[in-house]
């Protein structure tokens, strides 16, 4: 557990070694880039069992105790990603609508190895980081969402399998923050289109 630059912890081999490959092979079928609600995908039984574990009160309690936050009866949302665009992974903080973020990776050796998640000291320099977390199968990182929870990874186009579980704070992201989020989304899509045409 680390407190700086913001509270987070990393678990290697979070999925039991005997089950890891079966779970990875049952990862949801996702053909498009970007985050997709896991409920809108098709996945195998081993992955479904993993989802049950992630949604359990036991897991909620473990994460809450580790990050010293009361996750209580907070709503959760789970998204998955299978393909990464050039514009994904840019330096960012998670929105205030999220209290805690949990990321779990499903990449086999040689897959997306250069896209380690960097825990950053600021919102400007991807190379100013305190730790780089491998996106290897079974690696999990969880962090408390704070105004300075800067993170990101180097640009990459290709397959990169991950799951993101969020415990929602109940804070509504409205006004300027919401508008900024929409504008950034438009800029990302426009840049991706231009890159695709190049």
Query: CB atoms < 10 A from the CB of 144, how many?
Result: 21
CATH topology of domain 8-172: Jelly Rolls (2.60.120)
pLDDT along the chain (198 residues), means of 10: 97 94 96 94 97 97 97 96 93 96 96 96 97 97 98 95 96 54 55 57
End-to-end alpha carbon distance in the chain: 44
Asked whether the whole model's pTM tops 0.75, one would answer yes
Q: 73 Cβ partners below 8 Å, 6+ apart?
A: none
Per-residue confidence (pLDDT) for residue 30, from 0 to 100: 93
Per-residue confidence (pLDDT) for residue 178, from 0 to 100: 45
Per-residue confidence (pLDDT) for residue 175, from 0 to 100: 41
Domain-wise residue ranges, the chain = 8-172
Per-residue confidence (pLDDT) for residue 172, from 0 to 100: 78
* C-beta separation of 78 from 163 below 8 A: yes
């Amino acid at each position: 557990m680390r407190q700086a630059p913001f509270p987070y912890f990393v678990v290697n081999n979070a999925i039991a070694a005997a089950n890891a490959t079966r779970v990875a092979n049952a990862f949801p079928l996702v053909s498009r880039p970007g985050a997709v609600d896991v409920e809108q995908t098709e996945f195998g039984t081993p992955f479904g069992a993993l989802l049950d574990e992630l949604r359990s009160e036991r897991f909620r309690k473990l994460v809450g105790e580790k990050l010293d936050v009361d996750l209580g009866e907070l709503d959760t949302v789970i998204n998955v990603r299978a393909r990464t665009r050039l514009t994904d992974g840019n330096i960012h903080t998670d929105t205030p609508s999220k209290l805690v973020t949990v990321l779990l990776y499903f990449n086999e050796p040689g897959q997306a190895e250069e896209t380690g998640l960097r825990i950053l000291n600021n919102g400007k320099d991807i190379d100013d980081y305190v730790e780089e977390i491998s996106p290897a199968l079974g690696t999990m990182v969880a962090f408390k969402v704070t105004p300075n929870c800067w993170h990101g990874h180097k640009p990459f186009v290709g397959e990169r399998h991950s799951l993101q579980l969020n415990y929602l704070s109940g804070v509504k992201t409205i006004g300027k923050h919401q508008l900024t989020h929409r504008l950034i989304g438009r800029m990302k899509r426009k840049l991706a289109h231009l890159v695709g045409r190049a």
